[in-house]
Amino acid sequence: MTHISLTGIDRAHDERWHRAIDRMRSGALALVSRFSVDAPPYDALPRSMRDADFVPSAELNLALFFRYAGDGVEPSEQDTAPLVERAVRLVDDGMPIEEVLTNYRIGISFFWAQLIPNLGPDEFELIPDFGHRVTNYTSLVLVRITIALVEDARQPRWDMLERQSEIAADLLAGRNPEGWARDLDTPVADSFLIVVMRLGEPSPGTLTALRTRLAGLPGALLHRDSGGWTALVPPRPGDEADPVRALTSRLALRPADPHPQVWIGIAPAPTHAAIPEAWAEARIVAETARCLGRPEIVCGRTDMMFEYAIATAETALPSLAALLDPIDEQPLLTKTLDAYIDSQFNHNAVARALFIHRNTVTYRLSRITDLTGYDPQDPAGISTLMAARVARRLRAKSFRA
């Protein structure tokens, strides 16, 4: 380990320096504890950073940095080993090396921009010292990550992982992967289940565990896409008849367990030519399930035909969502409409759920009719209002088809 003493005053004994460190550390930990995928300021981060390992890796980075800021002792290789191993694992799973390294830099910049305002006016002169420590720490970790990635790339399996990634990219884009597939030990399957993962607020390690299980399925190909991860999984005999149940079984997912906040869309591709269309379908299914917070982990289009139809009518989403604008300032009406839909249009069930009289339910539904122009007690009216509610929820969660 290297000890770097600060020039000028000995900061180890400078109360102002340590007071600033404590304030910055508290602000950083609070920032991580409030992490939410789609909420500001976190929504400015690249989507590829927001996987299941972001929070624990950010916590470890902050712990190591502020310890270094306080005592000037660089973290050992053992200290940074989990960060290095995570970077190597992400590259092995298909994330480009440049994206891994760029995301690290962006993460450091994000915390720096958020934490500097925590300094008091009398502490601004400490910014150059903080900047010096941030630069040293970032360089140290990035050098160790880069060395590990270079060493990993020299391993015999690297060529295989690279070929598998290129094959997956070609198949998803509708290209012939024959040039890449020629030297594979396992031939590329003729058909696949296209599996797309989208994240909510998963527990640490959840996505990594799922990726590992998918990568371990015989003949599976993993691909990093703009919104998350895609896997091409060769089906077993009979899997195409019920791909949702087949994948749930193969990944050992148990419906009784707490939802992992990862939604998986699946679509069968019986031929290579069908893969791009199946990929588009699986992406929409996964993203729709995420936005609506569906209780299932693995979903297919047939599980959500109504919602899928709304999600694919992308140009109509804003106008559909706007149909509920007239009741925005009347939360009781919104609550009643939600309960009415969720209870399968049963007035008595709504009354029980909201602790109101049945006549009050009828009155509120009439008010919804007056304000929106659509009658919840009429088939055409309730169908339109249900579509508007789905559109609202998709837009609220930044749906991206």
- Arithmetic mean of pLDDT, 370-398: 95
Residues 159, 189: contact at Cβ < 8 Å? no
Q: Residue 18 above 90 pLDDT?
A: no
Torsion of CA 300, 207, 46, 113, to 10 degrees: 140
Q: Residue 240 above 50 pLDDT?
A: yes
Least confident piece of the model among 25-34, 330-339, 353-362: 25-34
C-alpha distances in Å from residue 96, one per residue of 101, 201, 214, 293, 380: 9, 24, 19, 30, 49
State the Cα–Cα distance between residues 339 and 118, nearest whole angstrom: 44
Least confident piece of the model among 49-53, 108-112, 310-314, 385-389: 49-53
234/98: higher pLDDT: 234
Tell me, yes or no, if the pTM score tops 0.85: no
State the Cα–Cα distance between residues 389 and 62, nearest whole angstrom: 41
| Per-residue pLDDT at 181 | 55
Q: Is 269 exposed, middle or buried (0-12, 13-18, 19+ CB in 10 A)?
A: buried
DSSP state of 45: S
Q: Where are the beta strands (DSSP E) in 185-291?
A: 192-199, 221-225, 228-233, 262-269
| Per-residue pLDDT at 17 | 82
| Per-residue pLDDT at 335 | 96
Q: Residue 7 above 60 pLDDT?
A: no
State the Cα–Cα distance between residues 20 and 214, nearest whole angstrom: 45
Tell how far CA 113 is from the center of its chain. 23
> pLDDT digit string (tens) for 161-183?
677 888 898 999 999 887 655 65
Residues 6+ apart with CB under 8 A from 281: 194, 265, 267, 301
C-alpha distances in Å from residue 352, one per residue of 290, 360, 361: 29, 11, 10
| Per-residue pLDDT at 319 | 94
Least confident piece of the model among 35-49, 258-272, 328-342, 387-401: 35-49
- Arithmetic mean of pLDDT, 321-347: 95
Question: Residue 73, Cβ neighbours under 10 Å: how many?
Answer: 13
Phi-psi category of residue 390: left, alpha or beta, with phi > 0 → left and psi -120 to 50 → alpha? alpha
The maximal CA–CA distance of the chain, rounded, in angstroms, is 79
Phi-psi category of residue 398: left, alpha or beta, with phi > 0 → left and psi -120 to 50 → alpha? left
Q: Using alpha carbons only, how large is the chain's radius of gyration in Å? A: 26
- Arithmetic mean of pLDDT, 292-301: 94
Question: Residue 268, Cβ neighbours under 10 Å: how many?
Answer: 19
CA nearest neighbour of 155 among 93, 218, 94, 92: 92
Residues 93, 224: contact at Cβ < 8 Å? yes
- Arithmetic mean of pLDDT, 115-124: 78
Evaluate the CA torsion angle 366, 367, 370, 376 in order and state its sign.
negative
Q: Residue 52 above 70 pLDDT?
A: no
* pLDDT over 70 percentage in the chain: 89
Residue 145: pLDDT band (50, 70, 90) is very high
- Work out the mean pLDDT of the chain and round it to a whole number: 86
Buried residues in 280-309 as b, exposed as e (16+ CB within 10 A) = bbbbbbbbbbbbbebebbbbbbebbeebbe
